[in-house]
Amino acid sequence: MKNFALRVYRAVLKIPLGQTRSYKWVAKEIGSAASCRAIGQVLKKNPYPLIIPCHRVIKNDGSLGGYAQGVKRKKILIDLENKLAKCLRY
């Protein structure tokens, strides 16, 4: 696996359950502020989509953006994780 992809996956693993971050956040986290589109391509090829939670990465404007499994499934996963995170806080 390429070094760039590993950096992206490591950054995405830092996103807490029930939260999202933007592609721009991931780009800054890996020290490559201009690489938002490349990050999207890496996440599209994520071999472990539930382990490396690429569904937690959204567009900077708050919209969902793309997802290899479909945007509908991305929304379901985000909503499910939000509910789970709330349950775990109690």
Alpha carbon distance 16, 32 (integer Å): 21
- Three-state secondary-structure class, residue 62: coil
| Domain residue limits at 13 | 3-89
Q: Which of 30, 43, 54, 58 is catalytic?
A: 54
Residue 54 annotated to the active site: yes
Contact 21, 54 (CB under 8 A): no
| Average pLDDT over every residue of 45-73 | 94
pLDDT in tens, 38-53: 999 999 999 999 899 9
Please state the domain count of the chain. 1
Alpha carbon distance 26, 15 (integer Å): 10
Percent with pLDDT over 90 in the chain: 88
Residue 32: which CATH number?
1.10.10.10
pTM over 0.85: yes
The secondary structure of residue 64, as a DSSP letter, is -
pLDDT in tens, 17-26: 999 999 999 9
Angle at 77 between CA 40 and CA 27, to 5 degrees: 25
